[in-house]
Amino acid sequence: MAVYFDNAATSYPKPEAVYNAVEYFQRQVGVNPGRGTYQKSREADGIIFDTRSALASLFKISDCSRIVFTSNVTESINLALKGYLIKGSHVITTAMEHNAVWRPLKVLEQGGDITLSLLKCPSGMAFNPEELPELIKKNTALVVINHASNVTGTIMPIEKVGKICRAHNIPLLVDAAQTAGVYPVDVQVMHIDLLAFTGHKALLGPAGTGGLYICEGIDLMPLKEGGTGSESLLEMQPAHLPDRFEAGTLNAPGIAGLGAGVKYILEQGVEKIRQHEIDLTEYALLKLKQFPDIVIYGPQDAPSRTGVISFNFTNIAPEEVTYMFDEVYDIMARSGLHCAPQAHRAIETVELNGTVRISFGVFNTQAEIDFLISALEDLANA
């Protein structure tokens, strides 16, 4: 049996409704939203709107026009950072960020535009939010944090950070790539000012979809200017959201699919999906801990992490493990640095060429974990 354990990279398979929504859009609608005055174009508009409002319900956003579509979380993060930060800003982030956050921040830092401070994540554990106030300076303009690490699954204390940020009047940007769709995200309770998410992971949508929630009162410079199908006579980009940040033809078939994915999550209930993830993770952790030669990185209990587990054999290189998985067992898992060298520095696995990473999704089962464990037993005894 083929087993897919790379849901942290992208979710697979998707709910049937997602495939159907993309196909319906391509075959039956097929036209651009927001550009025309004919019936099909209005149907396209309606589909885009439905996705926007489904996302708003999921993240408890009261005004869905504050959600703008992008092509992935990488673009959302770039828009937030480059659209918000001005020269001379100080930014606080963590030592566990994905390159989607790390690289744009480093580019800004090396260009002399910003300075950076880091919250430490020793051994891949969550940082201590009480260290945050000590890092705040007079010119701290933004706090940027991944909601959960894509390497260790470590869930970061966003709500506590949000409270501290509010008290100091500093906006909080959250990279929710690993949590949106599988962990309850509430922008009000968590005090999130900018929420960046990607459509193709736990939100169960197609690749090429994503978005950014921009809290009222935060003004960003658009990353790109161009046609929006509205206010065409205006020489400047329109001021109103979402059009201000949606120049160019939208990925409408993708957004249609994303809408179906989010509706699936709303119907199932994100709490129920999260429980399924905890159950699988707990079971896998329990089984993995029985191997004397396996090291598991990050928190050792399921509730402190998402369904992502990084581990290594003390005596087999990670790429050899995934090679055997693929060749012999048809198990799809990833080895390496997972685009997050920072996180691998935190767990000291850069020299080991990273880790073996398995990551569960809504359609994985306990039987599949048993199959993985039997494969690991073969490897351990070889």
Partner 1 sequence: MEALTIYLRKINIYHTSPCFAEAGKIRVKARLSDDISEIMPYLNRVVKNANYNEHAPNLTMFKEFRMITLEPENLILIKALNDTDARQVLDWLKDLINETAERKTEIEPLYASKKRPHPLQLYTWLPRINCKQCGEKSCLAFAALLSVGQQSLDRCLPLFTDDYQEQKTVMIDLVDALGHDISNYIDGGV
Ligand X SMILES: Cc1ncc(COP(=O)(O)O)c(C=O)c1O
Q: Of 216, 361, 266, 225, which Cα lies nearest the Cα of 54? A: 266
Residue 175 interacting entry, from ligand X, partner 1, none, C-beta within 5 to 8 Å by type:
ligand X
DSSP state, 303? G
User: Contact, 302 vs 278, CB < 8 A?
Assistant: yes
Least Cβ distance, residue 179 to ligand X (angstroms): 9
Residue from 85, 100, 173, 250 binding ligand X (CB under 6 A): 100
Q: Which is nearer to partner 1, 39 or 366 (CB)?
A: 39
Q: Which is nearer to ligand X, 93 or 198 (CB)?
A: 198
CB-based contacts of 189, cutoff 8 Å, min separation 6: 60, 159
Pairing mode of beta strands 67-70, 210-214: antiparallel
Inter-axis angle of helices 252-268 and 16-24, nearest 10: 150
Q: Which is nearer to ligand X, 343 or 376 (CB)?
A: 343
Least Cβ distance, residue 49 to partner 1 (angstroms): 4
Q: Taking CB under 8 A as the rule, does residue 193 contact partner 1?
A: no
Q: Taking CB under 6 A as the rule, does residue 244 contact ligand X?
A: no
313-348 b/e (C-beta count within 10 Å ≥ 16 → b)? beebebeebbebbeeebebbbbbbbbbbbbbbebbe
**Which of 35-43, 168-176, 190-198, 348-356 is the region at the interface with partner 1 (rule: CB under 8 A)?**
35-43
Question: Of all residues in the chain, what percent are helix, strand and coil, respectively (each to 5)?
Answer: 40, 15, 40
Residue from 106, 240, 272, 289 binding partner 1 (CB under 8 A): 240
CA distances from 147 to 33, 85, 272, 287, 296 (A): 32, 21, 19, 26, 20
Least Cβ distance, residue 343 to ligand X (angstroms): 9
Q: Taking CB under 8 A as the rule, does residue 57 contact partner 1?
A: no
**Which of 58-66, 67-75, 166-174, 252-260 is the region at the interface with ligand X (rule: CB under 6 A)?**
67-75
Q: Which is nearer to partner 1, 35 or 345 (CB)?
A: 35
User: Contact, 232 vs 225, CB < 8 A?
Assistant: no
Q: Which is nearer to partner 1, 52 or 201 (CB)?
A: 52
* Contacts to ligand X from residues 179-198, by CB under 6 A: 198
CB-based contacts of 120, cutoff 8 Å, min separation 6: 95, 127, 131, 346
Structure tokens at 3: 């087993």
Residue in this structure with the two tokens 């409704």, named with its chain if needed: 17
Q: Taking CB under 8 A as the rule, does residue 231 contact partner 1?
A: yes
Q: What is the residue-wise DSSP string for 1-37?
A: --EE-BTTT---S--HHHHHHHHHIIIII-S-TTS-S
Residue from 17, 32, 53, 141 binding partner 1 (CB under 8 A): 53
CA distances from 207 to 52, 70, 212, 258, 271 (A): 17, 11, 16, 9, 24
Q: Which is nearer to ligand X, 147 or 191 (CB)?
A: 147
Q: Which is nearer to ligand X, 48 or 177 (CB)?
A: 177
Least Cβ distance, residue 160 to partner 1 (angstroms): 31
Q: Taking CB under 6 A as the rule, does residue 66 contact ligand X?
A: no
Residue 364 interacting entry, from partner 1, ligand X, none, C-beta within 5 to 8 Å by type:
none
**Which of 11-19, 41-49, 278-286, 334-342 is the region at the interface with partner 1 (rule: CB under 8 A)?**
41-49
Interface residues with partner 1 (CB under 8 A)? Answer: 33-34, 37, 39, 42, 45-46, 49, 52-53, 63-65, 228-231, 233-234, 238, 240-243
Interface residues with ligand X (CB under 6 A)? Answer: 72-74, 98, 100, 146, 150, 175, 177-178, 198, 339
